[in-house]
Amino acid sequence: MTFIEAVKDPDALTMTMVAEFDRPAERVWKLWEDPRQLERWWGPPGWPATFTRHDFAVPGRSTYYMSGPEGEKAHGWWSRLEIAEPTTLRVEDGFADENGDPTGDLGSTVFTVTLEPTDGGGTRMSIASQFESAEQLQAMVDMGMEEGMKGSLGQIDAILAED
Protein backbone atom coordinates (compact mmCIF):
# COMPACT_ATOMS: atom_id res chain seq x y z
CA MET A 1 0.00 0.00 0.00
CA THR A 2 1.08 3.47 -0.69
CA PHE A 3 -0.49 5.91 1.74
CA ILE A 4 -1.09 9.05 -0.26
CA GLU A 5 -2.56 11.60 2.11
CA ALA A 6 -4.85 12.58 4.93
CA VAL A 7 -6.60 15.87 4.28
CA LYS A 8 -8.61 17.70 6.93
CA ASP A 9 -10.80 20.51 5.63
CA PRO A 10 -12.43 22.29 8.59
CA ASP A 11 -14.35 24.62 6.26
CA ALA A 12 -15.98 21.71 4.42
CA LEU A 13 -16.19 19.64 7.67
CA THR A 14 -14.38 16.71 6.02
CA MET A 15 -11.41 14.46 6.51
CA THR A 16 -10.29 12.32 3.58
CA MET A 17 -7.85 9.41 3.67
CA VAL A 18 -6.34 8.22 0.38
CA ALA A 19 -4.34 5.03 -0.20
CA GLU A 20 -3.37 2.95 -3.22
CA PHE A 21 -3.28 -0.82 -3.53
CA ASP A 22 -1.79 -3.12 -6.14
CA ARG A 23 -5.08 -4.93 -6.76
CA PRO A 24 -8.11 -4.20 -8.95
CA ALA A 25 -11.15 -2.44 -7.48
CA GLU A 26 -13.19 -5.66 -7.50
CA ARG A 27 -10.70 -7.22 -5.07
CA VAL A 28 -10.40 -4.14 -2.85
CA TRP A 29 -14.22 -3.98 -2.73
CA LYS A 30 -14.29 -7.40 -1.01
CA LEU A 31 -12.45 -5.82 1.93
CA TRP A 32 -15.68 -3.92 2.66
CA GLU A 33 -18.18 -6.57 1.59
CA ASP A 34 -16.81 -9.59 3.49
CA PRO A 35 -17.11 -9.08 7.27
CA ARG A 36 -14.28 -11.51 8.05
CA GLN A 37 -11.89 -9.50 5.84
CA LEU A 38 -13.22 -6.22 7.23
CA GLU A 39 -12.50 -7.43 10.78
CA ARG A 40 -8.87 -7.91 9.89
CA TRP A 41 -8.24 -4.26 9.07
CA TRP A 42 -11.06 -1.98 10.29
CA GLY A 43 -9.70 -1.55 13.80
CA PRO A 44 -6.28 0.08 14.12
CA PRO A 45 -3.36 -2.11 15.25
CA GLY A 46 -4.01 -3.24 18.81
CA TRP A 47 -7.77 -2.65 18.46
CA PRO A 48 -9.12 -5.52 16.29
CA ALA A 49 -12.73 -5.27 15.11
CA THR A 50 -15.45 -7.90 15.48
CA PHE A 51 -18.55 -7.46 13.33
CA THR A 52 -21.63 -8.91 15.02
CA ARG A 53 -23.92 -7.91 12.13
CA HIS A 54 -23.04 -6.99 8.55
CA ASP A 55 -25.98 -6.57 6.18
CA PHE A 56 -24.25 -5.44 3.00
CA ALA A 57 -27.29 -3.89 1.30
CA VAL A 58 -29.20 -0.61 1.19
CA PRO A 59 -30.59 -0.11 3.69
CA GLY A 60 -28.25 -2.39 5.54
CA ARG A 61 -26.90 -2.23 9.05
CA SER A 62 -23.65 -3.30 10.63
CA THR A 63 -22.75 -3.45 14.28
CA TYR A 64 -19.26 -4.04 15.58
CA TYR A 65 -16.87 -3.49 18.41
CA MET A 66 -13.15 -2.93 18.61
CA SER A 67 -11.29 -4.62 21.47
CA GLY A 68 -8.54 -2.65 23.15
CA PRO A 69 -5.34 -3.99 24.67
CA GLU A 70 -6.74 -3.69 28.22
CA GLY A 71 -9.94 -5.58 27.33
CA GLU A 72 -12.03 -2.46 26.76
CA LYS A 73 -14.57 -2.43 23.92
CA ALA A 74 -15.55 0.45 21.67
CA HIS A 75 -18.87 -0.27 19.93
CA GLY A 76 -20.05 1.22 16.65
CA TRP A 77 -22.79 1.00 14.04
CA TRP A 78 -23.12 1.60 10.31
CA SER A 79 -26.17 2.23 8.15
CA ARG A 80 -25.59 1.85 4.41
CA LEU A 81 -26.89 4.72 2.32
CA GLU A 82 -25.50 3.81 -1.11
CA ILE A 83 -23.74 0.87 -2.75
CA ALA A 84 -22.46 1.03 -6.34
CA GLU A 85 -20.23 -2.04 -6.64
CA PRO A 86 -17.25 -1.87 -7.10
CA THR A 87 -16.73 1.89 -6.98
CA THR A 88 -18.78 3.62 -4.27
CA LEU A 89 -19.99 2.91 -0.76
CA ARG A 90 -21.68 5.55 1.41
CA VAL A 91 -22.29 4.83 5.08
CA GLU A 92 -23.59 6.69 8.12
CA ASP A 93 -21.69 5.67 11.23
CA GLY A 94 -21.56 6.40 14.91
CA PHE A 95 -20.89 5.10 18.38
CA ALA A 96 -23.09 2.36 19.83
CA ASP A 97 -23.85 0.66 23.12
CA GLU A 98 -23.07 -3.03 23.71
CA ASN A 99 -26.35 -3.96 21.93
CA GLY A 100 -25.35 -2.06 18.79
CA ASP A 101 -27.86 0.74 19.39
CA PRO A 102 -26.68 4.29 18.62
CA THR A 103 -25.63 6.24 21.71
CA GLY A 104 -25.62 9.67 20.12
CA ASP A 105 -22.13 10.27 21.53
CA LEU A 106 -20.45 12.74 19.17
CA GLY A 107 -23.38 12.48 16.74
CA SER A 108 -22.85 10.56 13.52
CA THR A 109 -20.75 11.00 10.41
CA VAL A 110 -21.21 9.93 6.82
CA PHE A 111 -18.25 8.41 5.04
CA THR A 112 -17.98 7.77 1.33
CA VAL A 113 -15.58 5.17 -0.02
CA THR A 114 -14.52 5.68 -3.63
CA LEU A 115 -12.45 3.12 -5.54
CA GLU A 116 -10.74 4.29 -8.73
CA PRO A 117 -8.36 2.43 -11.06
CA THR A 118 -4.72 3.49 -11.18
CA ASP A 119 -2.18 2.99 -13.94
CA GLY A 120 -0.93 -0.58 -13.81
CA GLY A 121 -4.16 -2.19 -12.61
CA GLY A 122 -4.18 -1.01 -9.01
CA THR A 123 -6.81 0.89 -7.05
CA ARG A 124 -6.89 4.25 -5.32
CA MET A 125 -9.21 4.13 -2.32
CA SER A 126 -10.50 7.39 -0.85
CA ILE A 127 -12.48 7.47 2.39
CA ALA A 128 -14.10 10.88 2.83
CA SER A 129 -15.77 11.48 6.20
CA GLN A 130 -18.35 14.27 6.46
CA PHE A 131 -18.83 15.71 9.95
CA GLU A 132 -21.82 17.55 11.43
CA SER A 133 -19.75 20.41 12.86
CA ALA A 134 -16.22 21.72 13.28
CA GLU A 135 -16.42 20.67 16.93
CA GLN A 136 -17.25 17.09 15.97
CA LEU A 137 -14.39 16.99 13.47
CA GLN A 138 -11.95 18.29 16.07
CA ALA A 139 -13.22 15.87 18.73
CA MET A 140 -12.68 12.93 16.38
CA VAL A 141 -9.19 14.15 15.47
CA ASP A 142 -8.42 14.56 19.19
CA MET A 143 -9.59 10.96 19.77
CA GLY A 144 -7.02 9.76 17.23
CA MET A 145 -9.21 9.14 14.18
CA GLU A 146 -6.56 10.20 11.68
CA GLU A 147 -3.79 8.05 13.16
CA GLY A 148 -6.22 5.18 13.71
CA MET A 149 -7.33 5.23 10.09
CA LYS A 150 -3.73 5.34 8.88
CA GLY A 151 -2.98 2.30 11.04
CA SER A 152 -6.10 0.50 9.83
CA LEU A 153 -5.29 1.11 6.17
CA GLY A 154 -1.76 -0.10 6.79
CA GLN A 155 -3.11 -3.57 7.60
CA ILE A 156 -4.75 -4.11 4.21
CA ASP A 157 -1.66 -5.15 2.23
CA ALA A 158 -1.21 -8.29 4.35
CA ILE A 159 -4.77 -9.37 3.49
CA LEU A 160 -4.33 -8.68 -0.22
CA ALA A 161 -0.98 -10.52 -0.25
CA GLU A 162 -2.79 -13.77 0.61
CA ASP A 163 -4.46 -13.93 -2.82
CB count in 10 Å sphere of residue 153? 20
Provide Rg for the chain, Cα atoms.
Answer: 15
Closest CA to 117 of 109, 130, 126, 127: 126
92: alpha, beta or left? (left if phi > 0; alpha if psi -120 to 50): beta
Domains (range + CATH), the chain: 2-150 (3.30.530.20)
Separation between Cα atoms, residue 37 and residue 157, nearest integer Å: 12
Separation between Cα atoms, residue 124 and residue 1, nearest integer Å: 10
pLDDT at 64: 98
Residue 104 DSSP one-character state = -
DSSP run (H or E) holding 25: helix 25-33
Q: How many residues would you count in the chain? A: 163
pTM: 0.94
Tens-level pLDDT at each residue, the chain (163 residues): 577 889 999 999 999 999 999 999 999 999 999 999 999 999 999 999 999 999 999 999 999 999 999 999 999 999 999 999 999 999 999 999 999 999 988 899 999 999 999 999 999 999 999 999 999 999 999 999 999 999 999 999 999 999 8
Alpha helix stretches (DSSP H) within 42-160:
134-142, 145-153, 156-160
Q: Which residues of 96-132 are buried (b: 16+ CB within 10 A; e: fewer)?
A: beeebebeeebebbbbbbbbeeeeeebbbbbbbbbbe
Which pairs count as long-range contacts for 104-107, CB under 8 Å and 24+ apart, including other chains? 106/136, 106/139, 106/140, 107/132, 107/133, 107/136
